[in-house]
Amino acid sequence: MVKYNPQKIEKKWQGKWYNSNIFKAQDFSKKKKFYALVEFPYPSGDGLHVGHCRSYTALDIISRKKRMEGFNVLYPMGWDAFGLPAENYAIKMGIQPSITTKKNTANYKKQMQRLGYSFDWNREINTTDPKYYQWTQWIFLKLFEKGLAYKEKMAINWCPKDKIGLANEEVIAGKCERCGIQVQKKEKEQWLIKITKYADRLIKDLDSVDYPERVKIQQKEWIGKSEGAEIEFILNNFKKTIKVFTTRPDTIFGCTFLVLAPEHSIIEKVKNSILNWQEVEQYIIKTKDKSDLQRQENQNDKTGVELKGVKAVNPADKKEIPIFIADYIMINYGTGAIMAVPADDKRDEEFAKKFNLPIVRDYQRAGFEDFGKKTVQYKLRDWIFSRQHYWGEPIPMVFCQVCNWVPVPEKDLPVQLPKVKKYQPTDTGESPLAVMEKWVNVKCPNCGGVAQRETDTMPNWAGSNWYFLRYTDPKNSKKLSDEKKLQYWMPVDWYNGGMEHTTLHLLYSRFIFKFLYDIGAVPKSLGFEPYKKRTSHGIVLGQGGVKMSKSLGNVVNPDNVIKQYGADTLRVYEMFMGPFEQMIPWDEKGIIGARRFIEKVYTVCLKGDFSKPNSTLDIQINKTIKKVGEDIELMKFNTAISSLMILVNSFFEEKELLTKENIKSLLLILSPFAPHLAEELWERIGFKGLCSNQKWPQYNTTLIKEEKVLLIVQINGKVRDKVEIMADKNQKEVEEIILQTPKIKNLIGSISIKKIIFVPNKLINVVL
């Protein structure tokens, strides 16, 4: 027998697959559609890592099974190639981003094809293609047209290393999510998108989708909806008020002082009346050097300064109360001001004690309705959309001294990113595009006067907000996608991605889809949500459970694994290494075990004696078909492979009795996991056509019925016995058996039974 040679086998079948249209999705097929989606990668110079493979392999298994079940499957792939990662790599290499990106995407594609992924490469997209980002720019223009895109000077998160402004979602524990450097605060004019206008819908519509509960909770907490009241405090001797949001308006009679964020706009308006202005100004300057995280972390050491000479009036009891500024109050949350009730709030109590402020313990809690105006607040902030970098989509706006900000006419899209000699970020905080006078200076589309293009570019997330729509019609030059194709393919049936994108891409793309729905750019019949189902995978850690990183030298390159063990071995190991949703460390012993399994399949299938019909293995085969099929749908890939391993071991034990039908069934259910091996054996044994094109096998229900099961018996939730009974007995029958067994009868004695919980064929719990 010829020895198993994965390199030869895999190259052969990849050639046959990718030179045909076997994985091509058919628009408007009469088959039921299934749209499977994985997050498209930004193509870094390091290529794919084994973490990517985990997600792609999982959805590839699901997609292959769905095709075999008769679905018209769309499983596309593309490149999120604009943004900071690609630019940083280009800077490091000293090569233009356009050149490095093209090279990197070609390498990624080659790696994906080496793994045998069944992507429909006819629908490949790239966010850096002007034919693609024309529509990213069009979406921005529509946001501006509807009043949802605006420019404002504000304190932003500034990364001193990458020299770029960051959205709140891109700051993790006070540091830049990309480089890990401590973020600073910097005032700058920025384009913002009013995602806050959709906050309530982004929460409410989560009820209509199949997402893991942890994803829903994370999104809801990030949006941070709070129902309460807005109360106005009049400033004494001023015709001005301070608005305070509180979830406890009933505590207003206990309010003895106000605390404002140092950035609060009222401070500048009354500064001439602040007697200690120099002290206040110094505190404000000092606060600017702190990140939001630092300000929130220093809760034990309360700092603040009173605005001496300025008082507020408590509208409940008409008493004058002092006003402080303190860095633990954030301008972005609520109204940037709180009414302090030290008797009911520990934080307020600590502040009051430090500054010797009154604490009213026993106060009136009725009549607060006269001052409370009901309102809803959100923790979510508008999305900062400007980036002071070169490698991104140009923002299609021009500034005119007469007309202010004017959109580029739709007929002039795309505004193409020009080629530059210097693409590195600048020390001034401006984009490298700012020095390109010929590109910057244009005529105002409105009045024809002198105007300048916006030189900031869009963020990493701009192109990924709607890419799933473009896959349905990737070559359309008239609109972002044809309505009929959207109607056929959308929504996405199953979307898998990382938990780290829950408050970034997942939130942003849900918002953009709702906006496109509102303006009629997607059919109304699709509903408000782009994804029916979302799942998330656990990351692959390095050997020993530490994070993979280049500095530790423990990054596993899939190319090396494929070269040594084969793509099918890598696919099987990635799915077998542990529960899909959990973080799992890479284990070299595990990859060797997966290779041995593959070799065992190869050996047993080619050694079988198919001369005599035999039904010895029929029951186990049918059970395995059922188990593997169900486990794939539940993403329990590790237990599915375990079942396949058990079956193959049985084949070895009964190899003299194997039939051709036995082998056929094995290859069909193995095919999504190890497709190259399945195709090779399918052909060698003499089956017709491609294994990938066959129907998924149906199991025989009469053969999988268990005759006996081992039932766990609990009393008050504790396991007390295990009893073997006939399968499929109803609760009454099981109760009669269990309650008469000597052990259980003795344990219960004369104690009365409150209720009995019964899980058929598995468990019975007697609650006393």
Binding-site members are: 550
Q: Which two tokens stand for residue 504?
A: 């970034």
605 closest CA partner among 528, 683, 545: 683
DSSP assignment of 399-468 equals EETTTEEEEPPGGG---PPPP-S--SPPTTSS-GGGG-HHHHEEE-TTT-SEEEE---B--TTTGGGSHH
- In 3-state terms, what secondary structure has residue 714? strand
Residues forming the annotated binding site for ATP?
Answer: 550
d(CA 692, CA 670): 10
CA of 19: how far to CAs of 180, 389, 489, 562, 692, in Å? 43, 40, 25, 21, 15
d(CA 598, CA 592): 10
Q: Which two tokens stand for residue 614?
A: 């035999």
| Cβ count near 726 (within 10 Å) | 13
Number of continuous H segments (helices) and E segments (strands) in the chain: 25, 29
238 closest CA partner among 260, 198, 210, 270: 270
470 closest CA partner among 457, 491, 453, 486: 486
- In 3-state terms, what secondary structure has residue 722? strand
Cis peptide before 558 (omega within 30 of 0): no
CB contact at 8 A, 442 and 398: yes
d(CA 448, CA 431): 25
Q: Which two tokens stand for residue 299?
A: 């809760």
Q: Give the sign of the dihedral formed by CA 570, CA 576, CA 581, CA 585.
A: negative
Query: What are phi and psi for residue 204, nearest 5 degrees?
Result: -60, -40
